[in-house]
Structure 1
Amino acid sequence: MNTIGTTVMTLAAAAAVTASAFAVPAQAAEKAKNPFGLVYAGAITKNEPGKVNIHPVSYDLNGIKIAANVYTPAGYSESKKYPAVVVAHPNGGVKEQVAGLFAQRLAELGYVTITADAAFQGASGGEPRSKDVPFYRTEDIHGMADYISTYPGVDANRIGALGICGGGGYTLNAAKSDKRFKAVATLSMFNSGQVRRNGYMNSQMDSINERMKAASDARAMEKAGKITYAGEVDFDALTDEAISKIPTDLYREGMLYYGRTHRHPNSTFRYAAGSLMELMSWDAVDGIDLIDMPLLMMAGSQADSLYMTLEAFGKATGTNDKELYLVPGATHIKTYYVPEYVNLEVAKLKDFFGKRL
């Protein structure tokens, strides 16, 4: 090795030692400030009597350990009876982001709520990591209902569901068969199967079978022990200029939300490429007429993903009690965190669940 190379390695080693010397105190300080890892505005930093509290829990689902957070209302008592709502997170998201925000806001309205990291994702178990298969994502929602229905104080006859983005599509799928849900709501619903098959805004219709072949090859590699991933994004290397050139609001603003303003170490855009075999042959709206409970679908009036909510709402003919609510001026990602939009959405959920749970 030449002198320059040796010097660089020496400096790198010294930097690593220096960094490690400060890593533990820095991590401890961050943990003390943000003990639950929540990254949304107004998040709980400590449990206090008489206020909404958060309870990290875990449970087994199909042999996989699921990590979840339960939120209890102010003044919660096991001797009382409360309605409950399960909250499913977006694709690539985790329970500490928008799902946690809405779980907390609903708890402020008097609901016991639960939001869990999907199996194979976040802090939940399962291998390979970042697997995104409709069966498991739907089971995640059934599993939250299993857990919360026996939680102390919960009235199992008054359980609702809220699904956000990809979690919205999977929540619709879960509600087709899970009649424990007495009311179902979605926010910025994203039909994962349709998008993986047709491309976002139906932009890849001419390459479906080619991409299906690639998915099949990825599945074969996966079974042979080599996992390949789609949707890899290095947030640290992503420049403002590169983000500004992304043509769709959903993905451009999503890079900012997940990579900058609401970044969480467990959140990633990537998913195991072998998942595409199941994803591309699945559709959230297939059999949607089986949903016979009250349905509220919310989406931003300016969202370029709005077409998915409109299609699902039109095909949900199994219930007469349904409402479409367009959040004025909002894009897909901005429904997640912009206070004026979130307040409108929470007010709508208050009215919807309040009358039905």
Structure 2
Amino acid sequence: MPETLFHHNRRRFLGTSALFLATALTGVPSMSEAASEPTAKPLDYRDNPFTLVYDGALTKNEPGKVNIHPSSYKLHGLDIVANVYTPAGYDPARSYAAIVVAHPNGGVKEQTAGLYAQHLAERGFIAITMDAAYQGGSGGAPRSVDTPTNRIEDIHRAADFISGFPGVDPYRLGLYGICGGGGYSLAAAKTDKRFKAVATLSMFNSGRVRRNGFQDTQIATIKERLTQASAARAQEAKGGAVLYSGDADLTDAQIAALPFDLYRQGYHYYWRTNAHPGSTFKYTTSSLMDLMRWDATDQIALIDVPLLMMAGSAADTLYMTEDAFPKATGTSDKEFFKIPGARHIETYWVPAYVEIALGKLVPFFSRTLGA
């Protein structure tokens, strides 16, 4: 990745707070540990006319092939930007099943959400992926507000929009959430009965992690962090500066020394190999007031449609899917599938793992959406 692009795309740490980051940056891994991290050829968003940063991304629209349709619509007065992918031979006079794809925390539609949306279009579905409000290319100020209410409403509004897209059968809508988008998809599907099937990949329970810390390592500091979030909101209300959490700028050596695969591989994905200017992991500190009182698994027994939850068998985030799946008691048509050997970030881009995920995802949506 060119140096100018790297410095332009300053990201926040994938963990839960700057405090955790400070305590994590100790020690230097051995060469064998560093070498064990997966590598990918860096992609530059400026090389793609749609600024897509995933392997095999579309570079132009051609008749008879999968096409991408940059789109926009309003959400509570904000401009939301989205990409709609249509299958080869798309005919607006026909009837298609459609899938809403919700991106990971800090991600944008041009990264893994776009990769999976394109693959779903290649399998005959119409797929839409959008930048969350206050994030990426979508509108909203202050920037990088990250609250469950907003992220869930993003999903509802995407369903509104895609239901009116030419050729879409509004009675055959599916929902697919990745990482944080997976947690928010579970929440959205509890009440939005337009979705006839729900799938998640590497589900990340943002509320639990922001509240308890990753792998529940920060329970002792919950009160302290809530006090900081409350003070940040009070400062905003008085017209003061907006405070942000999770911002960090690490060297390769510091990245390699991080304690979890999620962080090490996340930095490489979001800062190095698949960087995009719309993708930033910082979030307003006041957002923690909403995040820390929320949980992706709360009342998910209300989900009464087919459910597929996928996660890497070697992912250090696996515990979140393991916790959520048994709580989804409202449907008997459900499956928990572990992608053999995959770690969290690897499910975003490693071709073999992506194909395994699609091998479950496509038959699931084909069966449940009548495609």
Q: TM-score with structure 1 length normalisation?
A: 0.90
Superposed CA offset, 1:237-281 (max 9, x none): x22210111001111110000000100011011001100000000
Per-residue displacement from partner, 1:191-233 (whole Å, max 9, x unpaired)? 0000000000000011111111111011111222220000112
In 2, Cα distance between equivalents of 1:83 and 1:248:
38
Q: Match for residue 67 of structure 2? A: 53
1:229 aligns with 244
Where does residue 27 of structure 1 map in the other structure?
Answer: none
Question: Deviations 1:82-132 (Å, cap 9, x if unpaired)?
Answer: 000000000000000000000000000111110000000000000110000
Structure 1 stretches of 5 or more lacking a match? 1-29
1:38 matches 2:86: no
After TM superposition, give the deviation of residue 284 of structure 1 in Å.
Answer: 0.6
- Give the alignment of 1:89-108 within 5 angstroms: 89-108=103-122
Q: Out of 314-323 and 221-230, give the one that drifted further.
A: 221-230
- In 2, the alpha carbon distance for the partners of 1:33 and 1:208 equals 43
* Alpha-carbon RMSD: 1.0
Q: Contact 1:233–1:269 at 8 Å: present in 2 too?
A: no
Whether 1:305 and 2:323 are equivalent positions in the alignment is no
8 A Cα contact 2:64 2:89, kept in partner = yes
Alignment of 1:217 onto 2:236: no
Q: Does 1:80 align with 2:84?
A: no
* Structure 2 gap segments, 5+ residues each: 1-43
CA–CA distance in structure 2, aligned partners of residues 269 and 201 of structure 1: 19
1:279 aligns with 2:294: no
Aligned residues: 325
Measured in 1, the distance between the counterparts of 2:59 and 2:228 equals: 45
Please state how far the C-alpha of 1:63 moved relative to its aligned partner.
1.2
Structure index of larger Rg: 1
CA deviations on 1:143-190 (whole Å, 9 max, x unpaired) are 110000110000011000000000000000000000000000000000
2:150 counterpart of 1:120: no
Identity of aligned residues (%): 64
**In structure 2, C-alpha distance between the alignment counterparts of 1:350 and 1:136, rounded to whole Å:** 28
Answer with 195-204 or 214-223: which moved more: 214-223
Out of 349, 352, 368, which is 1:337 matched to?
349
State the structure with bigger RCO (CA 8 A, min sep 6), 1 or 2.
2
1:256 maps to: 268
The answer to whether residue 282 in structure 2 is matched with residue 270 in structure 1 is yes
- Partner SS for 2:63: coil
Q: Distance in 2 between matches of 1:224 and 1:114?
A: 38
Separation in structure 2 between the aligned mates of residue 233 and residue 177 of structure 1, nearest angstrom: 37
Aligned counterpart, 1:294: 306
Q: Give the CA deviation at 1:32.
A: 7.8
Q: Name the TM-score, length of structure 2 as normaliser.
A: 0.86
Seen in structure 2, the aligned counterparts of structure 1 residues 244 and 174 have a Cα distance that, compared at 3 Å, is same
- Give 1:55-204 correspondences, 5 Å limit: 55-204=69-218
Greater helix content: 1
